[in-house]
Amino acid sequence: MADAGAKASRPLSPHLQVYRWPVTMLMSILHRFTGGALYFGTLLLAAWLIAAASGPRAFEIVNAIYGSWFGLLVLFGYSWVLIHHLLGGLRHFVWDVGAGFSKPARDNLARLNLLGSIVLTVLLWAAVLLFR
């Protein structure tokens, strides 16, 4: 049997508050999260298409919901999720061809993934609101 004093002196695993998350780990988690969120966003797209096929009244109702401030916020989030996941897939494609494995390249690709998804989402919505 182990001595109780020896057990108490062993180091504990670090908690999330003290553990420093590398940017690549954060992007990996976000890639998985955005992949899951795409399921729910695709349900929104399916609802819009079903409403369009159901007739003008159903389509007006769904458009009114999606055109509200909350609906636009959800659609903004969905577009960010879609773009972020796409860029994450491209990042993985770069790795699949054997490039970008050095630590600086991995970190830069991860940062570009996040920055690119934010910039492209804002540009997309600027265009949507400008040409609306």
Q: Which residue in 76, 49, 77 sits closest to 63, CA to CA?
A: 49
In three-state secondary structure terms, 53 is helix
Query: What span, in angstroms and rounded, lies between the C-alpha atoms of 121 and 108?
Result: 19
Exposure string of 67-98, with b = 16+ CB inside 10 Å and e = fewer, is: eeeeeeebbeebbbbbbbbbbbeebeeeeeee
Element (H, E) at 127: helix 103-130
Query: What span, in angstroms and rounded, lies between the C-alpha atoms of 86 and 92?
Result: 10
Does 92 appear as a known binding residue? no
Binding-site annotation, residues: 85
Residue positions in the annotated binding site for heme?
A: 85
